[in-house]
Amino acid sequence: MNPEKSAYSIVIPVYNEEGAIGALLEEIIALLKDKPVEILVVDDGSTDKSGEILANYAQAGKIKLVSHNKNKGYGSALKTGIHQASGERIIIMDGDGSYPAQEILELMKKSHSAEMVVGERMVKAGVEPVLRRIFKWLVVKMVRYLAGFEIQDLNSGLRVFPKEIVRK
């Protein structure tokens, strides 16, 4: 991790993810070991062992850790992380492991030709209830109609965008 010269900052909001965050960080660190990337984790007042796990990574110099003393919510954790990030581009990734770290490389490639790139979760067939799939399909179509472009996963916790967009 070289935060002084980071082209990208990966902002990972975490709240009570002791079962997932260690494996996710190991995967990200191994994947991006030779890239100019800052890994910034915001512990949003976790009450489980997430804080301990993250402190160990921070002490080893593998991540930059910012901690809220109490849970302020997902949006607040994202704002804190984006504000503290040093990279020219921000990658947001949920800390629960719902997205494979490998997707980061794909987003990085695509981010140079788009203002924002949004990842999409893939759900195994038959796992998501039919009513939910129908509702999501309708919402996606409505957003596509209103916005003029398609976003498959409106609640995606994996996206990349230039930091300057947030400053506007």
The pLDDT confidence band at residue 127, using thresholds 50, 70 and 90, is: low
How far is Cα 6 from Cα 111, in angstroms, rounded to an integer?
Answer: 15
Highest mean pLDDT (candidates 77-81, 125-129, 138-142): 77-81
Domains and CATH numbers, the chain: 3-121+155-167 (3.90.550.10)
Secondary structure tally for the chain: helices H, strands E? 6, 6
For 37, phi and psi rounded to 5 degrees?
Answer: -130, 135
What the block records as the tokens of 16 is 């009570």
* The two three-digit tokens of residue 83, written as one number: 């504000």
Pairing of strands 8-14, 37-44: parallel
* Distance separating alpha carbons of residues 39 and 84, to the nearest angstrom: 11
Whether the predicted pLDDT of 121 surpasses 60: no
The pLDDT tens digits of the residues spanning 20-56 come to 999 999 999 999 998 889 999 999 999 999 999 999 9
Query: What is the C-alpha to C-alpha distance for residues 142 and 151, in angstroms, rounded to an integer?
Result: 11
Which segment of 21-25, 97-101, 145-149 scores lowest on mean pLDDT? Answer: 145-149
This model's pTM is above 0.85:
no
Q: At residue 73, does pLDDT exceed 70?
A: yes
